Each structure stands twice: as structure tokens, then as C-alpha cells.
A and B are shown apart, each in its own frame.
Chain A
Amino acid sequence: MMESKGSHKWTKNILNELDINPKIVVCAKKGYVSASSILGASHNELEEKLGLSSFHIKNFIDAVTSHVLPKKTSAWDLSQTGEGDPKHITLGCQNLDNFLGGGVPAQGITEMTGQSGSGKTQIALQLSLCAQLPPVAGGLGKGVAYICTESQFPTARLQQMVKHFKAQHSKGPASYTDGIFVHHIPDMDSLVDCVRYQLPCLLSQRPIGLVVLDSVASPFRAEESNMENKNLLYTLGYQLHQLAATYHIAIVAINQVTSVIGNNNLYGHSGNVVPTLGLTWANLVTTRLMIGRTDSHVQAEQTEGSRQVKKSSSKTIVEYNVRELEVIFCPWLGKKSCPFVVTSKGIEDVE
């Protein structure tokens, strides 16, 4: 059982890793062996408990500080290396990609929330395919871990989408389905365990670039909203962030909505629905996208993907409900929305 890399860095014994006077090590073994206990204590406390001079204590603290200190860089360096640019996964739709500045944000946790049937899972499936495209095509060139908490993974729908996707995108893996690892986890305790133990295992064994959580709401909504469960939810989100930072992956979490009476404007989004899981979860979300149906429709000819069907008489006109993708908050995107439709091919722009 392997927790995510680095989680024990600050609680384990680091005395032997430091370049300090052995006299300090002998004294510190009494109870100050981890970075958190050493840096968490004041200078005076350490002097008193270890019985060493101020000079030695200062050296001790300096050594631990240097050992733990993260790399210093500057905004300029980040801009030069491209490290500071937000990463994206293309949606395979030009309008949507342009609207989002390249694609669905792949930094921290991106949440997709909205009413049932609005298209959240559809977008998640589309992303699962797009993520496997090479970076030059806007993907991550890696596989996907898809965690289902509500119902069965929509295999048939995915197959339908893969057929069209392959025709549209030449660069990509031979088998898209081989690159998607599906887990079914219905309850919250198993979900947190999965994120803490099983996912890091998977991530260190396979090239995975995206983790989809469909949905994060379902396991928690069924439970009581008490302090213990809130802490568990926070732990889930926190661990997901650690995974994202350690393994450089994108996290997409699907959330549900609940109705509010009156005008609820806490998040700057006035509407009659609000994402579930409250503030505990919202504080962990880097980008919040709201998906919904609108009252408009567009018409298009539904053509079969197969090129053999070319008879002009067999084209049918289909009406598609125009959906809306709205940015509720994102550190680098303004609040705006963009329309799209869901077709047999998957997610498509509205022309």
C-alpha cells in the first residue's frame, strides 16, 4: 500500500539526511526527528528541550529549512520554460477550445457541474478520448483512469464515439478503449481509499494523464453532512490535488446540482441551481464549469458514420438541444459561456 509520493516527507525521521553536527542528532533523537516537529517548534523551545546552545539550534533549524525548502523560481523563469502556462485537454471542437483558451483546464481539479442530462458525462467521455491524442493534437498522449460512482460505465456509447473519433483524428492510439481504466466505486470510504492507495499504484505503473471522477457527488450526498464526512470529502479533494501535482495529471470531477429557493449568488452565479457538496468541496476546485441545457435547438442532417450510406434520400433531419458550457470560476478565464451540442459523434460545436 503506497500513499502518494511525498506525503510522509514531513513526518518521517530526517535527522540522518541532514549535514549537521552529530551532537545535535544525539539530542534531537529525544523527540524532534521529523521536519514538522522541528520547524513547528520555536527556537526557545528547541534550546530548552535539546539543551544545546543558540548557535547549534540555529544551525539545526537552518539545515532542516534548507532540506525542506521547495525550489525557488521566478515568474519570468516559469514563463520561459512554459511551466507557468495553464495546461489543457482539447475537446476536439474548435469553438469550445478557443473559448476555454485551448481546451478543458488540466490544472488542479476541474469540476463539471450541472443538472442531470445536461451533458457532463458526454464531455467526460469525449475528454477520455481526446486525452489519448498526442500533445501536438491537443491531448496528453496518455491513458485515462475513469472512476464511476453512479451507474455502469457507458461502454456502448463510448464505442459509438470511438468509431467517429477515429475517423476524425488520424493521430492517436490504435485502441482507445485499451487506454481507459474503469473503476466502479459506489461509496465514499472506498473512494477515498482508491484515491489514496490504488490510484498512486496505477499512476506509477501506467502512463495516465487524466483521472475522471463521475461523479464526486453521488457517494457523499447519500451520507449525512456531518464534520467527519466533510473531513473525508476534504481529504479526497486534497489527495487529488497531491496526485495532480506529483504525477502531473489532470483531474476532472463531475458534480451534481441542487435547487435553491430564491436568488443564491454566493459564487457569482445567479440561477436557481447550485453545485452540491457545499463550501468544503468548492474550496478545493480550481476551475468550475457549469453545463446546462438551453431553450434553443439547432437542426442538422444526421448522417451515418459509415461512408457506404450515400443515398440522398436516406438523410434525416435531427434536432439537437443546444447546451451551454459556462465558466463559473477559473484563475485565468473570465466568466462567459459557449454553446455546444451532443450528437452521435460526441460533443460538437454549434456552427
Chain B
Amino acid sequence: MTEAVGTSGGLLSECGLPSSQMMKLLSADFTTTDDVKDMKPSELSQATGLSLKECVEVLRTASNSHHPSPVDMLQIYQEGSELPQIVTFCKALDTLLGGGIPLQAITEVSGMPGVGKTQVCLQACVSVQLPKSVGGVGGEAVYVDTEGSFTVKRLKDMASCAVHHVGTIGGVAEDVSGFTIESIMKGVHYFRCQNCVEVLAVVKNIPKLMLVHPNIRLLVLDSVSFHFRHDFPDARDRAKLLRTVTKELIQPAVTHKMAVLVTNHMTTNVKEKGSATLVPALGETWGHCPTLRLNLSWCGPTRVAALTKAPHCQNSSAYFQVSIGGLRDVSDNTQPSTAGNLQHEPLNKKRKIVESNDR
């Protein structure tokens, strides 16, 4: 286990500079990017003996590289457990997820058409914006829509309920009064992508987007499968683009501490013996990417979420329902409700959000 080196900038040797330049830099005692960052090309040239043109290149490369210095495991663990989670407003589901949808991780939500994958995404777009003073993440969301399932009206209904619940908890914190339907709707940045290259472009553009909106904490991709299951003119292209997207999605999660939420179709996997099972689409190329895999299905008239892959949660399941206000628990004494039966339970919600605050 390496000791924490602190935040002294990345090592120049890891910036990909030609070895001849590295030799000269090292012999002039320049080892990290911090050592060179404030220098002028002419100064660097004089100190190292590199040409002016080479120095310009070195400075550019040094300022572009983002190499985090080695950090010890304890620090990573502490940071991770201190991160707030995105609640789903369904206690059973939050418990299943270990508190909510986690930041700094990729969560996949798979399921049959109509089971509620998009509803989970819309709920997360609202929940991520819950004010920090009530235990929320207080961040914004980016919604990448590939299928055209994004409905403004659904988002508005969920936002309205969330505002109501936060209102009942009370509090005069500034971020609570600023938590309005309008602010929530403005906090969901929307991209409609007509093909996989547009999806790639949006994900690659996240760092730039963060410069303008540094408070983004959720990236939703609904769905990853729609464009990638299409029969490409060249099958190798499809595999390569999928691998690239898979890799690119890790960046926002790790670097920007975002929660990445991705929906996926189900497909039939016919085994050799003739029996068929339902599995998330896109196979292993995609399968190893998500940290958490949540599968939604039906148990009679009730929706069920099952955790099929998780680093630290036990594999189990939770019942939930989709109401006008979003995801909710299935009550014991009422039937699983359809949209139209809003379950207003302000007291329970208060307890839930306060609980997440205690953690």
C-alpha cells in the first residue's frame, strides 16, 4: 500500500513525453507537472536545454494530463462512504441498493419493456436534486434519450411530489426554498441521440459540460441497447463503438464523482440444451462495465427489483410501484397502485430522508 503522496500534480514521466525530452527534464530536476506548470517556454528552455518548440509541447502536455497521485485505500474507502446516495423514494428499493443509487458507480437497470426502467431514470433525475440540507445530493442531471421515452409531464409530476415532500420536512435552508419544480426541470439537461455516435459524443463532451455546469451528479443513458443492437453495416464497428462507450462511461463516474444510470433491454439467451433464459442485452462486452446490476420484473401485478450484481450488497429483491409521483413502496394493505393513486405519506418520507442524513 503506497503512502498518500498528496496533491502535488502528476508525474511528468507518465505524460507520454518522448524519452529524450524526459532525460533533459529530469536532469534539470523537473519531475512533476506542478514543477513546470507556471513556467514560460523560454524559461524552461533555458533551464533544460530543450528547444523553444519542444518546451511549448511539454507545457501543453503537462497541463493536459490528469494523473491523480497514488492515494491509499483508507482514503478511498472514507471518501466513498461519505458520498450521499440518490434516494428512490421507495424505502425497500433504497435499502436494496444500500441507501440509494450510488455516486461514483455505474448502475444498470434492465427489464422487460414497460416494467419501469425509464420511470427509475426520471425519479433519479428528480432525487439527485434533493437539497443537501435534507440529506440529498443537491446535484443536476444529464438525460441521454435514445428511444424517445423521456416525458416532461412525468418528470413534472415527480418533481411536484418531491417539492411537496421536502416542504413538509420544513427547514429554512436556502437550498430548500430554491428546490422548486422550475429549478428541478432546469436541472435536467437533455440530449436526444439518434444513433450511437451521438451517444458517444455526448459522453465525451461531459468534461466540457461540467465546466459550465459543475454541479452535475447524475448521467442517465436510456437506453444503451437501442442503438447498439441495430445491425450495423459493419459488425466490427458495432463491437468497437460499444467497447468505447463502455470505457467512456467510466470517466464521468470516477473523475467527476457522478452516478451513471444506464437502462438495458432484455434478450433471450438460448442455451445449447434448448432452454432459454432472459438476460440483459449486449452480452459480456457490456456486462462487466456496471458496478451494480438491477433487474426489474413482474411478480403478478407487482413490480419487483432484484440486485443481480453488487460489490457489497447481498443479492436480494424489493417490491416497488410506479405512481403519479414516482417510485414508491408497495403498501401492505392497499393493492399495488397504478398511476392515478398518489400515495401521500409525508411522515414516512420525512423519516427516510432524515435517516439518510444521519449516515
Contact = CB atoms under 8 A, between A and B. Distances in A.
Interface of A: 6-7, 9-11, 35-37, 39-42, 47, 53-55, 58, 61-62, 64-66, 68-79, 84-86, 107-108, 231, 234-235, 238, 241-242, 244-246, 265-268, 270, 278-279, 282-283, 285-286, 288, 328-336
Given A267-B114, A331-B118, A75 B188 contact: yes
Given A108-B148, A330-B114, 8 more contacts: A36-B237, A76-B186, A76-B188, A108-B149, A268-B114, A282-B113, A329-B115, A331-B149
Contacts of B204: 39, 61, 65
Nearest to B115: A268
Contacts of B64: 54-55, 58
B306 to A, nearest CB: 15
B149 A286 contact: yes
A333 B267 CA distance: 25
Contact of B194 (A37, A70, A86, A332): A70
A288 B156 contact: no
Given A9-B195, A39-B197, A85 B237 contact: no
Given A55-B57, A286-B147, A268 B298 contact: yes
Nearest to A238: B230
A74 B148 contact: no
Contacts of A78: 152, 190
A331 B339 CA distance: 11
A180 B291 CA distance: 51
Contacts of A68: 197-198, 200-201
Interface string B315-340: 00000001000000000000000111
Contacts of A85: 152-153
Contacts of A54: 16, 60-61, 64
B225 A84 contact: no
A84 B192 CA distance: 11
Contact of B112 (A40, A73, A267, A333): A267
A143 B178 CA distance: 47
B182 A65 contact: no
Contacts of A270: 300-301
B41 to A, nearest CB: 14
B193 interface: yes
B197 A10 contact: yes
Interface of B: 16, 57, 60-61, 64, 112-115, 118, 125, 143, 147-156, 182, 184-198, 200-202, 204-205, 208-209, 225-226, 229-231, 233, 237, 240-241, 244, 247, 265-268, 278, 281, 298-301, 303, 322, 338-340
27 contacts: A7-B195, A10-B196, A39-B201, A39-B241, A40-B200, A41-B244, A47-B16, A53-B60, A58-B64, A66-B205, A69-B191, A70-B191, A70-B194, A70-B202, A74-B189, A74-B190, A75-B188, A86-B151, A234-B230, A268-B112, A283-B226, A286-B149, A331-B118, A331-B151, A332-B153, A333-B339, A334-B338
Interface-central residue, B114, B150, B191, by most chain A CB under 10 Å: B114
Contact of A36 (B147, B191, B193, B197): B197
A287 B208 CA distance: 35
Interface-central residue, A6, A7, A65, A336, by most chain B CB under 10 Å: A65
A245 B153 contact: no
Contact of A285 (B113, B151, B266): B113
Given A107-B148, A235-B231, A267 B113 contact: yes
Contacts of A234: 229-231
For the complex of A and B, 5 pairs with smallest distance between CB atoms: A329-B114, A334-B339, A84-B152, A10-B197, A76-B185
A334 to B, nearest CB: 3
A334 B340 contact: yes
A268 B195 CA distance: 30
Nearest to A246: B194
B191 A72 contact: yes
A144 to B, nearest CB: 21
A35 B185 CA distance: 32
A215 to B, nearest CB: 19
A328 B112 CA distance: 12
A197 to B, nearest CB: 15
Nearest to B159: A75
A55 B153 contact: no
B195 A10 contact: yes
B186 A279 contact: no
Given A39-B201, A76-B185, A235-B231, A84 B114 contact: no
Contacts of B231: 231, 234-235
Contacts of B188: 74-76
A347 to B, nearest CB: 24
A270 B300 CA distance: 7
A342 to B, nearest CB: 26
B185 to A, nearest CB: 4
A165 to B, nearest CB: 30
A126 B346 CA distance: 45
A78 B339 CA distance: 23
Contact of B147 (A40, A241, A266, A329): A241
A197 B187 CA distance: 40
B124 to A, nearest CB: 13
Contacts of A332: 151, 153-154
A279 B195 contact: no
A268 B268 contact: no
Contacts of B147: 108, 241, 286
Nearest to B322: A334
A44 B240 CA distance: 15
